[in-house]
Amino acid sequence: MKIALAPLDERPVNTRYPSQIAAIAGAEVALPPLEIRGAARTPADTAAVAAWLREQAESAEGLVASVEYLAWGNLINSRISHETTAEGLARLAPLVQAKESGALVYAFALITRVANANDCVEEPLWWKTYGTRCYALSQLLHKQTVGALEAGEVERIATLRAEVPTEHLREFLTRRERNHALNLSVLNLLASEKLSFLLITSDDTSQWGLPSREKAWLESWADLLDVRGRMMLHPGADEVGSALTARLLCEKLGRRPRIFPLYALPGDEAIIAPYEDRAVRLTVEGQIGACGGLLAGSPEDADLILGVLTPSPRRTEWRADFADAERAARQGAYEAFFAELGKFQDSGKLVALGDVAYPNGADPLAMDLLFAESSPCAPGKLASFGAWNTAGNSLGTTVAQAVALWLAGDKADLHAQNIALTHHFLEGWGYQTEVRREARAKNTERFGHHDPAPPAPNDGGAMDQIAFTCASIEAGLQLRLAQLQKRGVGVGLTLVPGSVTLPWSRTFECDFELV
């Protein structure tokens, strides 16, 4: 089976992960050729991608396509480009043509985020100066439309409007209007039977802000158009290619797994994870549905058990200064949780583990307990693991891999399964929680800053720092792989020497190859 994927962008989470998941079930993910794929702020060649997608539609079992990728060239360019709604919509023609020819067409679109940082790596260059002010203004404008402003906030709106230059504010708002108009147009395509399924996700969302306002409008139109049975809308972004790959496999094979979520701290499933706008229980249920699964009413009725390490109320990344307090608060519950997961494993159930205690990395306490020789839950026997980013991102890839393994059954490619599980442990725990901190410290000591600057042409200094950083990361990952192998994860696998790269010349994420 071949699935053609037009990814959100070229990063490994959007390309490598879906490919790994499909491989477990013996399927292939076809991706646009590297030379037209784009990279970071350089958009994909949208005309070449459209031609590639038309060609793939003739032989693929189905298409999974990012609206942002086809319309604007990738995720970053959906936030910085100046093209019109009409230009973007015209580039979706290959999806409509594929559907009209009888293909399965799964589209996914984003509600554009408003980043709460003065950082322009993924935003317009002026965001480095005005980003946090635009974020604050976004929240207040939403509150103003629903009559929820508090004392002094009317004046704060006026202050922020005066502080952000008019041309930047106009660009910020008109681009949001453009992207929202495209999302409405895609919803119209779904209602007109020109798409098979649509998933709209909110990227780095919160209770207040223009993205939440737009989400409410889209939900209202989805209800009016009566398309809820063929679409979903929830927080997420980088997991969607993996989730819809699993969903398409379910549809083509005519099977849907029943999945029972088991929460590490009962009651904490009501906590809202960072960068999201709803209880993590709803995020779990949304990701199960997006991946083609069904919610099981009990463990006995389930094909899969999804263990969830629930969000910490601290709502931040893990920090060493509160490690002792977290251990005191969570260790007993975690031990009971892993004991229960171990019983399910012993009974023959497939068990997956989604760690969303903190964003951007695994919970060190949970990993200490899981990797202990006395742990009743065997990490190497898990169907999947995820802890690499936001709750939606981590849970989406976790569920997708487990679904692919369940679908494959006795015919699963166990080498592909080993690679995917090991990759996620090395990414979510080995890199995000451990090696990244070490690499940043070494960079700061040697270069005075923790991230390499994107290299300009003939910039030997930046290339030297990137090479130094990758070598440091590789050494750290080799050490963590050896630790994992002692606990039955990644047995027989090798980290390919020289394969570590920094996709966007930063340490936020890395890529590497396992064989």
Q: For residue 462, what pLDDT is reported? A: 76
Alpha carbon distance 161, 346 (integer Å) = 60
Helix (H, G, I), strand (E, B) or coil at 8: coil
pLDDT by residue (tens digit) across 137-172?
999 999 999 999 999 999 999 999 999 999 999 999
DSSP state of 454: P
Task: Note whether 237 and 8 are within 8 A (CB).
Answer: yes
The DSSP call for residue 311 is P
Query: Is the confidence at residue 457, as pLDDT, over 70?
Result: no
Residue 62 sits at the vertex; the CA angle it makes with 56 and 73, to the nearest 5 degrees, is 60
Calpha distance 230→222 (Å, rounded): 10
DSSP character for 259? Answer: E
Q: How many CB atoms lie within 10 A of CB 321?
A: 6
pLDDT at 8 over 70: yes
Tokens of 367: 């990993």
**Rounded-to-integer distance, Cα 225 and Cα 481, Å:** 50
Q: With the C-alpha atoms ordered 175, 176, 178, 182, is the resulting torsion angle positive or negative?
A: positive
pLDDT tens by residue, 428-442: 999 999 999 999 999
Give the pLDDT confidence of 290-348 residue by residue, as tens digits.
999 999 999 999 999 999 999 999 999 999 999 999 999 999 999 999 999 999 999 99
Measured between alpha carbons, how far is 198 from 185 in angstroms, rounded to an integer? 12
Q: For 351, list phi and psi in degrees, rounded to 5.
A: -125, 125
Give the closest residue to 422 by CA, choosing from 310, 288, 515, 283.
515
Check whether 510 has a pLDDT greater than 90.
Answer: yes
* Confidence at residue 455, expressed as pLDDT on a 0 to 100 scale: 62
Query: Contact 51/27 with Cβ under 8 angstroms?
Result: no
Predicted TM-score (pTM) of the model is: 0.96
Choose among 4, 5, 13, 69: nearest CA to 42.
Answer: 69
Q: Which two tokens stand for residue 51?
A: 């031609």
Burial-class residue 59 by CB neighbours within 10 Å (0-12, 13-18, 19+): exposed
Compute CA distances 218 → 145, 297, 513, whole Å.
16, 30, 39
Interval 80-88 mean pLDDT: 97
User: For residues 168 and 187, what is the distance between their CA atoms, to the nearest angstrom?
Assistant: 29
**For position 114, what pLDDT does the model report?**
97
User: Residue 422 in contact with residue 481, Cβ under 8 Å?
Assistant: yes
Mean pLDDT of 180-208: 96
- For residue 297, give every residue at least 6 positions away whose Cβ sits within 8 Å of its Cβ, in sequence order, or none: 260
- Reduced to 3 states (helix: H, G, I; strand: E, B; else coil), residue 338 is helix
Please state at what angle helix 391-408 crosses helix 12-24, rounded to 10 degrees: 20
Which residues are paired to 200 by β-bridges?
A: 109, 233
CA 338: distance to chain centroid?
25
Fold of 2-113+175-252: Rossmann fold (3.40.50)
Q: What is the DSSP letter of 310?
A: P
Give the residue among 276, 133, 158, 123 at the shortest CA–CA distance from 211: 276
User: Residue 440: which of 510, 385, 344 has the closest Cα?
Assistant: 510
Alpha-carbon span 303 to 406, nearest angstrom: 8
pLDDT tens, position by position, 232-277: 999 999 999 999 999 999 999 999 999 999 999 999 999 999 999 9
Torsion angle defined by CA atoms of residues 367, 370, 374 and 379, in that order, rounded to the nearest 10 degrees:
-130
In angstroms, the CA 47 to CA 496 distance is: 35
Residues with Cβ < 8 Å from 159, sequence gap 6 or more? none
What integer is the mean pLDDT of 465-477? 96
Output the average pLDDT for the chain. Answer: 96
Residue 460 scores a pLDDT above 70: no
* pLDDT recorded at residue 387: 98
Angstrom distance (rounded) from CA 394 to CA 399: 9
Residue 452, pLDDT score = 85
Separation CA 139–CA 148 (nearest Å): 11
| Cβ neighbours, 10 Å, residue 89 | 18
Written as one letter, the residue type at 331 is Q
With a cut of 90, say whether residue 463 has pLDDT above it.
Answer: no
Return the SS3 of 33: coil
Q: What is the largest CA-CA distance in the chain?
A: 64
CA pair distance 21, 36, nearest whole angstrom: 23
Q: What's the pLDDT at 456? A: 66
d(CA 67, CA 191): 16
Instruction: Give 498 or 455, the one with higher predicted confidence.
Output: 498
What are residue 105's DSSP bridge partners?
Answer: 63
Concatenated DSSP letters of 420-470: HHHHHHIIIIIIIIIIHHHHHHHHHHHHSSSSPPPPPTT-HHHHHHHHHHH
Write the DSSP assignment of 46-60 as a string of letters.
Answer: HHHHHHHHHHHHTT-
